[in-house]
Amino acid sequence: MLNLSLQSLALHLEKKTFSSAELTQFFLGRIKQHNPSLNAFISIDEEKSLTMAKKADELIAKGKKSTLTGIPVAQKDIFCSQGWPTTCGSKMLENFIAPYDAMVIEKFNEVGAVNIGKTNMDEFAMGSSNETSYFGPVKNPWNLDLVPGGSSGGSASAIAARLAPAATGTDTGGSIRQPASLCGFTGLKPTYGLVSRYGMIAFASSLDQAGPMAISAEDCALLMNVMSGHDKRDSTSIERDKEDYGSKLNSSIKGLKIGIPKEFFGEGLDSSVHTLIDAAIDQYKKLGAEIIEISLPNNHLAIPVYYVIAPAEASSNLSRYDGVRYGYRTKEYDDLTDMYFKTRQEGFGEEVKRRILIGTYVLSAGYYDAYYLKAQKIRRLISEDFTNAFKQCDVIMGPSAPSVAFNAGEKKEDPLAMYMQDIYTISTNLAGLPAMSIPAGFVSNLPVGLQLIGNYFTEAKLLNIAHSFQKNTDWHLKSAKGFE
């Protein structure tokens, strides 16, 4: 059951080599065994998962099966799931049992997939190392001293350690791609608006986007088929014809024009990572692609712009956590003001508070024009860089992260160093473009991810480009020692 693709798991379920209950039990067993050392999951509910599995088995028996029926999927704890604790990695929501399902959860439920548990994450998805979670840091299966990346670090660790065959993540500034890079698997951040944000706890509304995390591009395509689609409950959800994201997987990539932005290979990029990315691009050349040097001249502004826009939106999105209607409320207080101040002081972690404060500052009277408005304008420049680039090429490639996984605690007290983790990923969130990270090799036994950035709505094409690589390499199939 381990290391099988979603397609072959589905085939086995159909042929009844094993049942969904058995498959679920198998992964629950692995979680039990490894979660204490990895801390990838915040909540596990065997009974709920097995009930779902049994239902899936009934569907399979009746022949009412779609591809993901009965397949266990780990859900990032940012998605509200009815009856499950949904904490968003925060003390604020420690005891919050969601009374409804997010669209993503609904979609997986509809096809009879099994929720195998809720994965750990940086608090309110703010972080790049999964060290800001109230429920403790997540460990990288490749080396337990290292971070898995963030904010979808729990899902990342779970996939890398094979605690689940598939997982969901969300990506506001790189939160799917950077952990995919640091943990060595495949992750896709779709075009903004393709996956509904309904029921996905908001961090920065104009940037947040959910996406799949799995071993291969092929698996990600199957997950995308389930997750995507228009939702009337999200005003920013896009209405498009339903697409089969796996339909182009095996198309030829001969003549593909790959844009290489010189800004992605400058100072800050670890030289051994650089070497591996070059090698991966060479591999594409061998597959018939054409390499074009391009420029994203405003990319160096992406981090400053992001650290205005994301905290600004977050400061407002997180105002609802006030201890009045749900969630944490401080134990002792003198009056209403005192209740607010203490609830939010105690309920939020340091990184979240820092970002709320930054966001409040950049929106406050006298600073709005210099910060928030300025950032919105530069956001357009960054976005236009991509528009221009895609006039010359079909896909943009570069590293997903500047280095391999780093030591836990190494950057925790240095927000600026931590923020640099997302230097190659943030600009696509600002522009709303789709992007992937795929395994491209190892530096001293630690995985390195290659980033692929596509034009709007070219997910199927991106998956095709990724799959072409994965047919010719096996980096994505390698698993960490101790978790084989």
Q: What separation, in Å, do the N-terminal and C-terminal C-alpha atoms of the chain show?
A: 11
The one catalytic residue in 19, 76, 107, 139 is: 76
Name the 3-class secondary structure at 214.
strand
CB 231 within 8 A of CB 107: no
Near another protein in 238-257, by CB under 8 A: 238-239
Does position 83 interact with another protein (CB under 8 A)? The reply is: no
- Closest to 459 in 3D by CA, of 481, 484, 428: 428
Neighbours of 293 (CB within 10 A): 10
Closest CA to 352 of 415, 305, 437: 415
Rule CB under 8 A: say whether 344 interacts with another protein.
yes
Q: Which two tokens stand for residue 464?
A: 């095709």
What are the Cα distances from residue 461, in Å, to 192, 248, 451? 16, 7, 14
The token pair that represents 75 in the structure block: 């859900």
For residue 304, state whether it binds another protein (rule: CB under 8 A): yes
> Any contact of residue 40 with another protein (CB under 8 A)?
no
Interface pick for another protein out of 182, 273, 431, 462 (rule CB under 8 A): 431
* Contacts for 82 with CB less than 8 Å, ≥ 6 apart: 98, 99, 100, 101, 105
Known catalytic membership, residue 151: yes
Q: Which of 19, 129, 155, 175 does the annotation list as catalytic?
A: 175
Instruction: Work out which of 4, 50, 59, 97 binds another protein, going by CB under 8 A.
Output: 97
Which span sits near another protein by CB under 8 A: 40-48, 179-187, 279-287, 356-364?
356-364
- Closest by CA to 27, choosing from 119, 214, 158, is 158
Tell me which stretch binds another protein (CB under 8 A): 108-116, 134-142, 367-375, 403-411: 367-375
Q: Which is nearer to another protein, 16 or 100 (CB)?
A: 100
Minimum separation from the CB atom of position 81 to another protein (A)? 10
Among 2, 11, 61, 357, binds another protein (CB under 8 A): 357
Using rule CB under 8 A, residue 301 touches another protein: yes
The one catalytic residue among 128, 151, 157, 181: 151
Tell me, residue by residue from 379 to 418, as one string, x for binding to another protein by CB under 8 A and - for no binding.
xxx-x-------------------------------xx--
The encoded tokens of residue 452 equal 């692929």
Active site residue 248: no
Count residues binding another protein (CB under 8 A): 99
Q: Is 53 helix (H, G, I), strand (E, B) or coil?
A: helix
258 binds another protein (CB under 8 A): no
If binding is defined by CB under 8 A, does position 232 make contact with another protein?
yes
Q: Can residue 371 be called a binding residue for another protein (CB under 8 A)?
A: yes
Quick check: 379 and 430 in contact, CB under 8 A? yes
Determine the longest span between alpha carbons in the chain, in angstroms.
70
Contact 92, 330 (CB under 8 A): no
Cβ atoms of residues 217 and 431 within 8 Å: no
The residue range among 21-29, 129-137, 252-260, 309-317 that interacts with another protein, by the rule CB under 8 A, is 309-317
Q: Which of 16, 320, 391, 481 binds another protein (CB under 8 A)?
A: 320
Residues numbered 138 to 197 that lie near another protein (CB under 8 A) are 192-193, 197
Instruction: Cite the active site residues.
Output: 76, 151, 175
